[in-house]
Structure 1
Amino acid sequence: MDREYYKSMCLSVLENSSYYEKQFTYESKKVMEKLETIIDEYGQKLTAKETAYLLSFNIKTSNFYGLPKIHKSQTIKNECKISRSTYISVASPADLTVRPIVAGPTCETHRISNLLDILLKPYVTKVQSYIRDTVDFLNTIPEKVNPESILVSFDVTNLFSNIPHDLGLIAIEHWIDRFPSLLNDRFPKNFVLESLQLILENNFMHFNDIVYRQKLGTAMGTKVAPTYATLVLGFLEEKLYLTVKEKFEQDFENFIRKSWIRYLDDCFVMWDKSDDQLMKFFNILNTLSPTLKFTMDSDSNKLSFLDVMVIKKENRLITDVFYTITDTKQYLIFDSCHPRHTRNNIPYNLARRLCTIISDAAHRTTRTTPSKALS
């Protein structure tokens, strides 16, 4: 990728004043002093080793980089369709965007973020819609469905970057108050909330010799971010269930509670209600928060979710593996100089993934046949 083109894409993200601001004076020492104040006030039950872990380490400010979303660029996808080569060359596609990543493995808040992730993870299992991974998704979707139902997926646009700090803190407090026994009794609620606020408000990063601070949302890179985002959307889903109950009948609320499943910002439901109700439901989703907006995709026959292609055949669901058009399916060549166990493990795990996802036995055999597996 052209250096100047890449830099311009990153700067287009960082120079959006709604999300980021330049820092002309920045001292990491002040962030650590704030953390030390929180520990002094609420961390009396921390051991000496835990306190040293949180406060005593070599600090280095995070770096910002943009991860190109090549799978979402229509220009690149069109080129992939007509290319007969493993590689394609597309000069500066106009519709290419980047995912903002903040790499801060030794930044001021990375250790307190790790601690909060440990403390908050138990609450994730209390989110009714939560699915852990692909296997959990496969175990959750029904085998038999209404033949008239359609497959619908929803996606939150730039979830991490669009969670307001006040909404996030309210959501975390909601889960702690609702399930107080899940929080380790050595850590009071205020310790969690003030530490979380410190992480959200002190996300500093370097790019192009300039320091920026993220004003809205959480960094995609800090340890607690996925857990935090899951709990925030789980909090909004509680609001969603109540709104659906008010707008529709009790049966509709029960349907949403039972059928609505989510992995981070990706949501899935087998919809057996009317098209009009689907649009009303979609509109409700987009009123849950002023900054969090949903997109929707639907199909009566097949739809991808995570790395699974869900296919409806009459009254049952079958699943296949899903590849994006930009997936080159290139893996480590077997005669490389890597250890033999590494070379053996790659085809083994690729085959295991196919066997896990593909539900039809005949299709699974076809997919795992070497000459046909990549077709």
Structure 2
Amino acid sequence: MKYAPTAHMNLFNVYIDLQKFKKNLCLKKYFLKNPMERSNNFHFYHHTNLKEKSTFFPKSLISQEINTFEQMIMTDLGKFKTSTKSNNLTRKEREALKGLTSNDKIEIKPADKGGGTVIMKAEYYQEESNRILNDANTYKKLNKNPGKDIQEKFVRYLDEGHALGILNDQEFKYLKVEHPRTPVFYFLPKIHKDPINPPGRPIISGVGSVSSRISEYIDHQLQPFVTNTAAHLKDTTEILNVLNNITWENDLFMVTSDVKSLYTIIPHMKGIEATEHFLRKNDILQPEQIIFILEGIRLILENNYFYFKNDFFIQLNGTAMGTRFAPSYANLFMAFWEETFLSRYANNLVCYKRYIDDVFF
């Protein structure tokens, strides 16, 4: 076996990859000798596969062959001269980047659409952020950090779910975030709407927050219901296949539209009502688990707090762009509206499809 290093190989990274490879070999050997028994026991509640990453490593199965293989790789790698220069930028380019990152008079953000990078005046970024956050119907400024009180609410929620058996042990352990991060607000500039003074799409970065994994759990539970809604579109390929099966007639009109600021305009009660409607349409979930999921959604919606420029805020209406279950939740809200509103136009609709808030009919 030959290993062809690049000019700027990182030997430490190669060593780490080699250890992972050894671990995978040992795990394969272990489970070949000790196959996992698949339980056919009936599960009263619908569980997910969410769990912490396993650290199990049966080191006793490291054979002489594996050790010899590792020694040969490391010996071969030691013969190569590796360059410490891994920067592919010129000195002036590096200086320019350093200057941009330390310039407090500008803000650099990715564009909301199109894949571009936008450099804005810090003054404009602050003004647009204030415009978004001053919407009293959507956001409220807080006097203190509510993190501790909110964490206690989520701990009680998870403890109750675990005690009832709705959450199994691995789910419970995975969902409880012991040291949560505070969610942070920022916005993505919509340069496709105004390249000079782009309006912002509000995003709340909640990675590692107290609700982040619960949101992931809820999304896992909602996904099957979303994909079974009548207007659901998976991707561009699906709409092309749909169109391919439609015979165009002279009196047909093709229409595209979208919902303005869908995520932030969904009233909490209406969104929960729509979600409950679909969760109760069949017998997939037990009533207690439906109540548990709806309570989790309510907790996340009503405790969606975040930090921006030394101040704490809480979102009063809608769901945050950035939380994991938001697309599924918005999908079910739209599907509920379609069931109650579009039926009166059913005879005139040849085709009606939707990707979250982008509608085609």
Question: Given the two structures, how large is their TM-score scaled by the length of structure 2?
Answer: 0.63
Structure-2 separation of matches of 1:48 and 1:179: 27
Of 245, 248, 259, the residue aligned with 2:351 is: 259
Structure-2 separation of matches of 1:42 and 1:152: 45
Report the counterpart of residue 228 of structure 2 in structure 1: 126
- SS of aligned partner of 1:72: coil
Report the counterpart of residue 226 of structure 1 in structure 2: 327
- SS of aligned partner of 1:67: strand
Report the counterpart of residue 159 of structure 2 in structure 1: 40
46-55 vs 124-133, which moves further: 46-55
Of 234, 251, 261, the residue aligned with 1:158 is: 261
Report the counterpart of residue 216 of structure 2 in structure 1: 114
Following superposition, the deviation at residue 26 of structure 1 comes to 2.5
Report the counterpart of residue 90 of structure 2 in structure 1: none
Report the counterpart of residue 83 of structure 1 in structure 2: none
Report the counterpart of residue 25 of structure 1 in structure 2: 144
Report the counterpart of residue 62 of structure 2 in structure 1: none
- Write out per-residue CA displacement over residues 302-345 of structure 1, whole angstroms, 9 at most, x where no aligned residue: xxxxxxxxxxxxxxxxxxxxxxxxxxxxxxxxxxxxxxxxxxxx
Of 104, 113, 117, the residue aligned with 2:206 is: 104
Report the counterpart of residue 211 of structure 1 in structure 2: 312
- Write out per-residue CA displacement over residues 237-280 of structure 1, whole angstroms, 9 at most, x where no aligned residue: 110134x1xxxxxxx41443x511101101011xxxxxxxxxxx
- SS of aligned partner of 1:58: coil
Give the strand-richer structure, 1 or 2: 1
- SS of aligned partner of 1:219: coil
In our comparison, the structure showing a higher alpha carbon Rg is 2
- Which amino acid letter does the alignment assign opposite residue 346 of structure 2? E
Cα-Cα RMSD: 1.7
Identity %: 35
Following superposition, the deviation at residue 187 of structure 1 comes to 6.5
Of 40, 45, 49, the residue aligned with 2:170 is: 49
Report the counterpart of residue 335 of structure 1 in structure 2: none
Structure-2 separation of matches of 1:176 and 1:23: 34
Report the counterpart of residue 202 of structure 1 in structure 2: 303
Report the counterpart of residue 12 of structure 1 in structure 2: 131
Instruction: Name stretches of at least 5 consecutive residues in structure 1 with no aligned partner.
Output: 77-92, 245-251, 270-375
Following superposition, the deviation at residue 186 of structure 1 comes to 10
Moved over 4 A (4+): none
Bigger relative CO (Cα 8 Å, ≥ 6 apart)? 1
Question: Given the two structures, how large is their TM-score scaled by the length of structure 1?
Answer: 0.61
User: Is 1:237 the counterpart of 2:338 in the alignment?
Assistant: yes
- SS of aligned partner of 1:12: helix
Structure-2 separation of matches of 1:24 and 1:241: 44
- Write out per-residue CA displacement over residues 10-52 of structure 1, whole angstroms, 9 at most, x where no aligned residue: 1100111111011112332222221222233343222233212
Q: In 1, are the aligned partners of 2:158 and 2:176 still within 8 Å (CA)?
A: no
Q: In 2, are the aligned partners of 1:205 and 1:212 still within 8 Å (CA)?
A: yes
Structure-1 separation of matches of 2:282 and 2:321: 27
- Judging changes above 3 Å, is the alpha-carbon distance between structure 1 residues 177 and 143 closer, same or farther for their aligned structure 2 residues? closer
Following superposition, the deviation at residue 117 of structure 1 comes to 0.1
- Write out per-residue CA displacement over residues 199-246 of structure 1, whole angstroms, 9 at most, x where no aligned residue: 10111111111111110000000000000000010011110134x1xx
Instruction: Name stretches of at least 5 consecutive residues in structure 2 with no aligned partner.
Output: 1-119
1:75-94 correspondence to structure 2 within 5 Å: 76=195, 93-94=196-197
Q: In 1, are the aligned partners of 2:133 and 2:139 still within 8 Å (CA)?
A: yes
- SS of aligned partner of 1:205: strand
- Write out per-residue CA displacement over residues 93-112 of structure 1, whole angstroms, 9 at most, x where no aligned residue: 34x20000111101111010
Structure-2 separation of matches of 1:172 and 1:143: 31
Report the counterpart of residue 290 of structure 1 in structure 2: none
- SS of aligned partner of 1:36: helix
Following superposition, the deviation at residue 143 of structure 1 comes to 4.6
Report the counterpart of residue 356 of structure 1 in structure 2: none
Q: In 2, are the aligned partners of 1:261 and 1:268 still within 8 Å (CA)?
A: yes
Q: In 2, are the aligned partners of 1:32 and 1:55 still within 8 Å (CA)?
A: no
Q: In 2, are the aligned partners of 1:102 and 1:222 still within 8 Å (CA)?
A: yes
- Judging changes above 3 Å, is the alpha-carbon distance between structure 1 residues 231 and 129 closer, same or farther for their aligned structure 2 residues? same
- Which amino acid letter does the alignment assign opposite residue 139 of structure 1? N
1:246-325 correspondence to structure 2 within 5 Å: 252-256=345-349, 258-269=350-361
Q: How many residues align?
A: 239
